[in-house]
Structure 1
Amino acid sequence: MAKTYVDKDTCIACGACYSTAPDVYDSDDEGYAFVKLPGGTEGFVDIPEEFLQDAMDARDGCPTESVKWED
């Protein structure tokens, strides 16, 4: 199963990931992205199959490559 997390050190709060995959990513009070799935603030998180394509699109659309991926 694929896993994802957001590198907050490189995130520029552009909103690309959470507008592309709102079931997987969200923004904090400052606009920085995080994985909103259970455990999302603790590291890599499993992506449910039904959200996988949107999550891949979010990863591919991140201008700073802050959306990280692990197969």
Structure 2
Amino acid sequence: MSKLIIQSERCIACGKCYLNYPQVFDCEDDGIAFVQEDATEQDQKMARSAIFDCPTRAIEEVDHTPSPSQ
């Protein structure tokens, strides 16, 4: 399973991600984007193009495989 993350230090608050994919991204008062905690895996898959739309490449896809319970 993978998920989207935003490297906030790279974000320039252009708004492309949260304007195009409001079901996945939102922003702080200063415009810096973040991935909403309740964004579903399916919504995140649909928003993958945001990775390439971001002018500073602040959005990344990372492996998020839960570790097995012991």
Q: Same fold (TM over 0.5)?
A: yes
- Identical pairs, percent: 37
Gaps of 5+ in 1: 39-45
Aligned counterpart, 2:18: 18
Return the TM-score normalized by structure 2.
Answer: 0.77
Instruction: Work out whether residues 23 and 43 of structure 2, in 8 Å CA contact, stay in contact via their aligned partners in 1.
Output: no
Number of aligned residue pairs: give it. Answer: 63
Return the TM-score normalized by structure 1.
Answer: 0.76
Aligned counterpart, 1:48: 41
Give the 3 Å change call, closer, same or farther, for CA 59–47 of structure 1 in structure 2. Answer: farther
Amino acid at match of 2:49: D
Q: Which of structures 1 and 2 has the bigger CA Rg?
A: 2
Q: Which runs of 4+ in 1 moved over 6 A?
A: none
Over aligned residue pairs, what C-alpha RMSD do you find? 1.8
